Amino acid sequence: MAEEPRGLTAAEVAERVARGDVNADVDVKTRSVRQIVRENVCTLFNAINVILAVFVLFTGSYKNMLFMIVIVSNVIIGIVQEIRSKITTDRLSIVAGSHATVVRDGARKEVALHDIVRDDVVVLGRGDQVPADAVVVSGEADVNESLLTGESNLIKKAPGAELMSGSFVNAGTVCARVVHVGHENYAAKISAEAKQHKKVNSEIMNSLNGIIKFVSCVIFPVGALLFARMFFSGEGVALDQAILSTVAALVGMIPEGLILLTSTVLAVAVVRLAKSKVLVQQLYCIETLARVDTLCLDKTGTITTGAMEVAAVVPVEGADAGELDRALASLAAADDDPNETAQAVAAYYAARPAVRPLAPVRTVPFSSDKKWSGAAFEGRAYVMGAGRFVMGDAFDAFEGQAGELAATARVLAVARAEGFDADGAIVGAPALLGFVCIHDQIRATAAQTIGYFKDQGVTVNVISGDDPRTVAGIAAQVGVDGADEYVDATTLETPEQVADAVRRYHVFGRVKPEQKKQFVIALQEQGHVVAMTGDGVNDTLALKQADCSVAMAAGSDAARNVAQLVLVDNDFASMPKVVAEGRRSINNLQRSASLFLVKTLLSMSLAVLFVLLPWQYPFQPIQMTLISAFTIGIPSFVLALEPNRDRIRGRFLENVIVKSIPGAVCAVLGVLAVNAVGRLALGLGYGQVSTLCVLLVAWVGVMLIVRLSVPFTPIRSALLVVVVGGTVLGATLFHGLFGIVPFTVPMAVLFAACAVAAAALFHWLYGVLGRWHEARLAREA
């Protein structure tokens, strides 16, 4: 290595700091704890409930504020889960080096990455990550730029060559002068779009938000009308009673328990996945991945491990296979500073102890000019490198064989030579012994994992920056459909060409970072739900664009922080577990959500009707708490945590409403019948009518639980006993707390008649709507 540059002086460093030419910290950051807390607390959903709680507080009836327990629990779960993910992600980020060696005033010193200034001379050796864009001023090194470009091949860097921030030095040592700092760096430009927190495109979340937005538009106008009708109608309804009845109607409209249930179920899935070393950074991405129909994989680091391995050792015709093995083993053993290729050859022969390497007497290191390395042994010499550079024109005779091998791997020629001259050049005409084929090491579980997604009807696309022939060869080995037809992305120049290509092909090579994002957009515009996996800065744009993004923990900070899922053990085989958890969560949530929607539909319908009817709204907030606890809350949590790996069918909101309508219709008609008959025909008071309405709605809830529990299991049978027993207990031993009055004979007769009629109507409606929905799903399949 040439004499080391003196670097900047202290005065020059100070001058650049004053100008702002400093490598300011531009890494993608996770949200702060303050942001997480603010986003979970300051929501429209929470604001509505707090306003209603304030009205109840005004009446002094504190027991009617119990609904706020659900709101607080939901906020706590969201905050705890997101802070937990933040802490884990920040810990993963510490893996990257935080210091660099620079030359200042002729001496080496370590400085923090953000203290590097423009024109600093950085010293980079094997394993170091390039901290800022720079130009090599002395030395040579092999650099891995796969995190930036997707290319897994090592790039030789000599004086004058550019080094991109984020790449790694694989072998050799260089001194390089920093030319870009901070946001000017190549890696910073690529990851700039990833800096903003990405919201998940979740059907469940969108459905819940849609419900809340709709409710928020009608809740206060309806509430004001209902309160005015009761308080100013002259019926003698006291102010406190009018407020409580109004709040009961409005609280019932809001599916607050469903929000909590969703957060809890997904949080349980997060805990389960954590045991499988999968970090979930956004709760709802579990659902999104379960709905994915197209999976885009980056080859390096996903299908492959990122390490190199020997795919084959192929002698040419007439050559001695034993000598070829001995030559390769000897060359690998003679390399004092082996790069990934030499390491792969050494590992290959370490598993073959019968091949004993020769003792070297001279070595000729690899250089980007020669494109080969060699070593002399007692009585012979061998070289390994690019065939054309090793053999010259004599390589024409072997071009065909080398071309066939190059379809799936990088091919190096191995030849016997007479020796080397003083300048390290080959003496005489080398004799070709054969070829060694090197390719990325394929993960042992890759084929099985891709097979799983194919069985589930998910289309798998492989998108890589590597040579398309190499990508296609690896894709074929792991079972990707259509791997025999591939596309060189450099030929795709227009959005129309990209859209046509992603519609017809599944293997793409030479893909630029910007094109990966274009591919994802094109698939989304064609109606697909797209998941993207990757580990490099070059993947961040596509990861952010995808509906669900998955990163490897060993990848770049930018990829990890923009991804919604991080595979901590860097094993793509964890993906089926995520899909299974998503299916369990979504299918069970759909089943349980119908219980909540019954209350929402019931409360909205009754609130509007009782604005027009001459009676006081028949519920208080504490009574809605009794109904919510035993006929909605407890059963929904039990049903939502059961095993369920069925494929997801239909849309969330439609699936839920179809099962909710029968219960809501029966409950509304039952409440109207109780009020009409009870008040007009039987002369019942408000407390008696309210009691009948509460128990009738509970009865409808029990019927829906029965239908949702079919086929019954021991757990579901025990659940039904708890639901009925808890409701009865609340209506008897704790009747004072819940505003339940003792039954009279007229009340018992009216309840029995309404219960029988509701049961008959409920089961008929449930059957009719169920058959219609099944036929609709069959048509869409």
The residues annotated as belonging to the active site are 298
What single letter denotes the amino acid at residue 690? Answer: S
- State the residue for tokens 């000729």: 364
Q: Could you tell me where the DSSP H helices lie in 494-574?
A: 495-504, 513-525, 540-545, 557-562
- Contacts of residue 637, defined as CB under 8 A and 6 or more positions apart, other chains included, come to 261, 264, 592
Question: Are the beta carbons of 544 and 255 closer than 8 angstroms?
Answer: no
How many residues can be counted in the chain?
Answer: 781
Are the CB atoms for 159 and 136 separated by under 8 Å? yes
- What's the CA gap between 513 and 561, in Å, rounded? 17
Question: Could you give the 3-state DSSP secondary structure of residue 117?
Answer: strand
215, 216, 218, 223 alpha-carbon torsion, rounded to 10°? 100
Q: How far is CA 558 from CA 84, 153, 167, 516, 534, in A?
A: 19, 22, 13, 16, 11
Beta bridge partners of 460: 295
Backbone angles phi, psi at 702, to 5 degrees: -65, -40
What amino acid is encoded at 751 in this protein? F
Report the distance separating Cα 533 and Cα 543, nearest Å. 7
Of the candidates 84, 20, 80, 55, which has an alpha carbon nearest to the alpha carbon of residue 566?
84
Contact 245, 230 (CB under 8 A): yes
Q: Is the peptide bond between 353 and the residue preceding it cis, with omega within 30 degrees of 0?
A: no
At 368 the three-state DSSP class reads: coil
Q: How far apart are CA 551 and CA 545, in angstroms?
A: 13
Residue carrying the six token digits 């909101």 = 653
Contact 118, 8 (CB under 8 A): no
Q: Report the amino acid identity of residue 650.
A: G
Question: One-letter amino acid identity for 591?
Answer: R
DSSP 381-437: EEEEE-HHHHHGGGGGGGHHHHHHHTTTSEEEEEEEESEE-TTSPEES--EEEEEEE
> Which of 239-256 are b and which e, b meaning 16 or more Cβ less than 10 Å from the residue's Cβ?
eebbbbbbbbbbbbbbbb
Question: β-strands 168-178, 134-144: how paired?
Answer: antiparallel
Residue 728 sits at the vertex; the CA angle it makes with 722 and 732, to the nearest 5 degrees, is 140
Name the percent of the chain in helix, strand, coil, to the closest 5. Answer: 55, 15, 25
Task: Name the nearest CA neighbour of 190 among 133, 135, 136.
Answer: 133
Query: How many CB atoms lie under 10 A from the CB of residue 506?
Result: 22
User: What is the chain's Cα-based Rg?
Assistant: 35
Alpha-carbon distance values, 285 to 221, 267, 520 (Å): 35, 12, 17
Taking alpha carbons only, the member of 194, 205, 198, 196 closest to residue 286 is 205
Of 448, 482, 462, the residue nearest 297 (C-alpha):
462
For 590, residues 6+ apart whose C-beta sits below 8 A from its C-beta are: 652, 655, 656
Q: Which amino acid type is present at position 761?
A: L
Pairing type for strands 530-534 and 419-420 reads: unpaired
DSSP letter, residue 8: B
